[in-house]
């Protein structure tokens, strides 16, 4: 048994670069990208493939090959850097410029053994340390080639892989069942929202543009962003607030700029509704009395009440199928939620008393379903921890840099 460096046991190959104009709707030239590696399972995912023109002659070195490892080397999101997937057969697919391919030296190391090493906590910790607090969105092989780990004999490697495969098969089966249970909880939550927001006898249909003044913010330049001060929210922070109640933001503006905008244009107040307008659309958040923040124009829309309405009732409605069915009629995908579009949407509003009653009922019901959801998410986390524990045990003498 010996300690080796990653660069000693595999060859790194860069992916295929091509022009945007080379992309076509369908061809025989398939190119795998970062989205073709599932982040949670570290497996290949072929749900969304990219095709380039058949006129392009792809070099043999730019095709994935059986018993190699695909690795993400560039991404708009740091969380995807360094994620890997084992290529289990010759697919005849190329790999793109934001990807790399690790070709193991089969005289020294089993491909699946190396793959398991690269999904283990020590390697993931190395990747995290390289990108933590740094503006790194590209992973050069030189940054990871000195990663060290213990390399037993090929026979021992195969034995370790067999044990891990057997254990992981059971863990994967448990994960599939748990995710199915989460899907069932999600379906129940949607059903509860739909039913509770339907069928009140005193309902009036109103356009959102009548009930609310809808707009966005005064533009804040990137040069005005700071590391401390008044929180500055983009769509991602509103999404986090919508789902977890916490923004976890890292951008701010100065108190002086906030005060200037507050006096000239206004700032979000209690019971206003913020809603994401770009990317993942329709994630909404009701502003609380102790909130103090400003937000990015166009990415987030701002709804201010014009009449008596329970903002939390509207927030529940936005999260329901009633909202989505108008936002995406006939299943068409909408990439941007404009002020005009949001103003035109129609909401069924019962009396304020019934709105309050529905909110109270939904608070109780969603609270119960969220408890069940939390239980299943906790189980998934435990299964993930078990997977890492087994990897740690198998590679117990593995070291990082």
Strand partners, 10: 104
Distances in Å between the Cα of 221 and the Cα atoms of 24, 252, 340 are 36, 12, 24
Question: Do 267 and 289 fall into the same domain?
Answer: yes
Q: How confident is the model at residue 333 (pLDDT cuts 50, 70, 90)?
A: low
Position with higher pLDDT, 84 vs 131 = 84
Which of 310, 334, 349 corresponds to the end of one domain?
Answer: 349
Instruction: Work out the burial of residue 188: count CB atoms within 10 Å of its CB; fewer than 13 is exposed, 13-18 middle, 19 or more buried.
Output: middle
Instruction: Give the span between the Cα atoms of 11 and 68, in whole angstroms.
Output: 10
Lowest mean pLDDT among 157-166, 172-181, 296-305, 392-401: 392-401
> Per-residue pLDDT for 161 more than 80?
yes
Question: Do 390 and 330 fall into the same domain?
Answer: no
**Are residues 192 and 369 in contact, defined by beta-carbon separation less than 8 angstroms?**
yes
Please compute the mean of the pLDDT values over residues 4-15 and round it to a whole number: 97
> Per-residue pLDDT for 289 more than 50?
yes
Lowest mean pLDDT among 193-202, 223-232, 248-257, 361-370: 193-202
Q: What is the pLDDT of residue 137?
A: 74
Q: What is the CATH number of the domain that holds 296?
A: 3.90.220.20
- Structural domain contains residue 235: yes
Cβ atoms within 10 Å of 284's Cβ, excluding its own: 22
- Structural domain contains residue 191: no
Question: Do 210 and 330 fall into the same domain?
Answer: yes
What percent of the residues of the chain are helix, what percent strand, and what percent coil, each to the nearest 5?
Answer: 45, 20, 35
Instruction: Give the span between the Cα atoms of 4 and 309, in whole angstroms.
Output: 66
> Per-residue pLDDT for 73 more than 70?
yes
- Structural domain contains residue 189: no
| Among 282, 322, 313, CA closest to 299 | 282
User: The tokens 């994960």 sit on which residue?
Assistant: 175
- Structural domain contains residue 193: no
- Structural domain contains residue 331: yes
Which of 131, 151, 171 corresponds to the end of one domain?
Answer: 151
Instruction: Give the span between the Cα atoms of 382 and 165, in whole angstroms.
Output: 18
- What is the model's pTM? 0.76
Range of the domain at 19: 2-151
- Structural domain contains residue 377: yes
- The tally of domains found in the chain comes to 3
- Structural domain contains residue 192: no
Question: Do 40 and 134 fall into the same domain?
Answer: yes
Please compute the mean of the pLDDT values over residues 382-387 and round it to a whole number: 95
Instruction: Give the span between the Cα atoms of 314 and 319, in whole angstroms.
Output: 9
Instruction: Give the span between the Cα atoms of 269 and 293, in whole angstroms.
Output: 10
Mean pLDDT across the chain: 93
Question: Do 296 and 389 fall into the same domain?
Answer: no
Question: Do 226 and 167 fall into the same domain?
Answer: no
Question: Do 162 and 291 fall into the same domain?
Answer: no
**Are residues 203 and 349 in contact, defined by beta-carbon separation less than 8 angstroms?**
yes
Question: Do 75 and 11 fall into the same domain?
Answer: yes
DSSP 16: B
Strand partners, 145: none
Question: Do 234 and 271 fall into the same domain?
Answer: yes
Question: Do 275 and 368 fall into the same domain?
Answer: no
Q: What is the pLDDT of residue 77?
A: 79
Question: Do 28 and 14 fall into the same domain?
Answer: yes
Question: Do 21 and 110 fall into the same domain?
Answer: yes
- Structural domain contains residue 195: no
DSSP per-residue letters across 168-183: HHHHHHHHHHHHHHHH
> Where does 88-147 show beta strands of DSSP type E?
94-95, 99-104
């Amino acid at each position: 048994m010996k300690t080796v460096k990653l660069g000693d046991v595999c060859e790194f190959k860069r992916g295929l670069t091509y022009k945007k104009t080379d992309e076509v709707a369908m061809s025989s030239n398939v190119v795998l990208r970062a989205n073709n590696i599932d982040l949670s399972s570290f497996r290949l995912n072929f749900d969304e493939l990219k095709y380039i023109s058949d006129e392009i002659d792809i070099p043999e070195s730019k095709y994935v090959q059986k018993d190699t490892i695909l690795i993400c080397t560039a991404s708009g999101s740091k969380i995807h850097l360094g994620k890997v997937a084992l290529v289990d057969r010759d697919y005849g697919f190329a790999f793109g410029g934001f990807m790399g391919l690790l070709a193991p030296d089969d005289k020294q190391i089993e491909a699946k053994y190396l793959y398991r090493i690269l999904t283990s906590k020590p390697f993931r910790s190395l990747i995290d340390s390289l990108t933590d607090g740094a503006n790194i969105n590209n992973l050069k092989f030189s940054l990871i080639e000195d990663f060290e780990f213990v390399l037993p004999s090929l026979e021992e490697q195969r034995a370790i892989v067999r044990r891990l495969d057997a254990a992981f098969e059971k863990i994967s089966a448990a994960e599939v069942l748990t995710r199915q249970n989460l899907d069932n909880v999600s379906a129940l939550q949607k059903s509860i929202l739909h039913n509770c927001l339907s069928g009140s006898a005193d309902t009036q249909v109103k356009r959102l543009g009548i009930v609310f003044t809808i707009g966005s913010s005064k533009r804040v330049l990137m040069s005005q962003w700071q590391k401390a001060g008044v929180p500055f929210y983009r769509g991602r922070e509103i999404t986090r607030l919508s789902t977890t109640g916490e923004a976890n933001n890292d951008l701010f503006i100065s108190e002086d700029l906030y005060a200037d905008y507050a006096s000239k244009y206004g700032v979000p107040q209690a019971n206003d509704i913020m809603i994401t307008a770009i990317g993942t659309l329709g994630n909404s958040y009701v502003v609380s009395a102790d909130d103090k923040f400003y937000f990015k124009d166009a990415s987030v829309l701002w709804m201010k009440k014009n009449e008596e309405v329970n903002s939390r009732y509207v927030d529940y409605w936005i999260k329901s199928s009633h909202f989505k069915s108008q936002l995406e009629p006939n299943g068409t995908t909408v990439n941007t939620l404009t002020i005009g579009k949001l103003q035109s949407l129609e909401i069924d509003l019962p009396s304020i008393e019934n709105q309050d009653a529905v909110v109270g009922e939904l608070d109780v019901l969603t609270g119960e379903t969220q408890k069940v959801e939390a239980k299943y998410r906790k189980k998934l986390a435990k299964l993930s921890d078990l997977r890492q524990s087994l990897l740690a045990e198998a590679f117990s003498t593995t070291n990082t840099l």
